[in-house]
Amino acid sequence: MKRLAALAAPFLLSAAAAAAASDRASEVPESVPQGALVVARTEPGNTVTLGERPLRVSDDGRFVFGVGRDQTGPLRLTVHWFDGATETVNIAVAPREWPLERVDGVPPETVEPPPEIAARIAREQTLVAAARTLDDPRTDFAHGFTWPVEGRISGRFGHQRVYNGVPKSPHSGLDIAAPEGTPVKAPAAGIVTFAAPDLYLTGGTVLLDHGHGVSSNFLHLSRIDVHVGQRVEQGQVIGAVGATGRASGPHLHWGMNWFEVRVDPLRLVTPPQDDVAGD
């Protein structure tokens, strides 16, 4: 298991804070890759903004934000100290390469759905998006993530998808091939905010909120073992691998978000030793 950790780097301080620079030790990365979930720390009692967006700061000073697949930098982060001083830093965003992935053999009606099915998909995705708006003070995300299931990586975050020869949106998560019925375990503790057995595109679907807007989603499940509002601990079984929804075979789609920003789960766990495909 790889623990979440921010790279320690001093901020550039405003003139008001320069005299006390040695006492102002917020820890943030100087550079972040596209698709990263960034956990950093400042002094408790400070407030933090990313651009114009306020970030929740925990009682021990932790805060988190996501970097989208197509995000470009720099990201401007500002810490407002409890005594009135201000720190600012421009965080560079390192680009990544996004190869093409072809997925054949999925049901044609899930690739180019008729209007009535497209309307259903839109309704379902609105419900899922609403579940990602929770800004809970819990810091389950800060205690590290483990693999929800073991198996071959069959699809990667950010890669451009072509279904049955039709170009579609980039892949939003990590696909792990495993036999149908394989138990799926929570990669970190959290609260279940969404659970539905039969969404059109994603089939059996569960969302697990880890606090501060960080959430995991688990798609194509053949079985769901949890309910909305339930707290689960890291390693607890939440369902089983399936091939429901738009899927060419049994696998788990593990996606992660910071609110509406999709991030790469593979950056939060130790890659398998036999994984030679790279980013």
Tens of pLDDT along 102-141?
Answer: 777 777 777 778 899 999 999 999 999 999 999 999 999 9
Which residues make Cβ contacts (< 8 Å) with residue 259, sequence separation at least 6? 66, 132, 133, 135, 213
**What's the pTM value of the predicted model, to 2 decimals?**
0.85
Instruction: Give the domain-ending residue among 73, 94, 115.
Output: 94
Q: Are residues 88 and 108 in the same domain?
A: no
Asked if residue 279 is part of any domain, the answer here is: no
Mean pLDDT of the chain: 87
CB atoms inside a 10 Å sphere around CB 6: 17
| pLDDT band, residue 52 (cuts 50/70/90) | very high
Q: Is residue 65 pLDDT above 60, yes or no? A: yes
Asked if residue 2 is part of any domain, the answer here is: no
Closest CA to 50 of 19, 71, 70: 71
Give the number of domains in the chain: 2
Question: What CATH number corresponds to the domain at position 72?
Answer: 2.60.40.10
| pLDDT band, residue 23 (cuts 50/70/90) | low
Give the 3-state secondary structure of residue 38.
strand
Q: Are residues 66 and 110 in the same domain?
A: no
Residue 140 contacts residue 3 (beta carbons within 8 Å)? no
CA dihedral over 199, 130, 68, 7, signed as positive or negative: negative
What percent of the chain shows pLDDT beyond 90?
Answer: 70
What average pLDDT does this structure show over 181-209? 97
Q: Are residues 140 and 263 in the same domain?
A: yes
Would you state the pLDDT for residue 1?
28
Asked if residue 111 is part of any domain, the answer here is: yes
Q: Are residues 50 and 155 in the same domain?
A: no
Q: Are residues 106 and 89 in the same domain?
A: no
Instruction: Give the domain-ending residue among 94, 114, 145.
Output: 94
Ranges 15-19, 189-193, 221-225: which has the least confidence:
15-19
Q: Are residues 189 and 146 in the same domain?
A: yes
What average pLDDT does this structure show over 143-158? 94
Would you state the pLDDT for residue 7?
31
Q: Are residues 130 and 259 in the same domain?
A: yes
Helix (H) or strand (E) holding 276: none
Q: Are residues 247 and 180 in the same domain?
A: yes
Q: Is residue 193 pLDDT above 50, yes or no? A: yes
Q: Which residues of 30-63 are buried (b: 16+ CB within 10 A; e: fewer)?
A: eebbbbbbbbbbbbeebebebeeeebbbbeebbb
| pLDDT band, residue 22 (cuts 50/70/90) | very low
| pLDDT band, residue 5 (cuts 50/70/90) | very low
Q: Is residue 13 pLDDT above 80, yes or no? A: no
Structural domain that includes position 117: 100-268
Q: Are residues 230 and 213 in the same domain?
A: yes
Instruction: Give the domain-ending residue among 50, 74, 94.
Output: 94
Q: Are residues 130 and 59 in the same domain?
A: no
CB atoms inside a 10 Å sphere around CB 261: 17
Q: Are residues 133 and 159 in the same domain?
A: yes
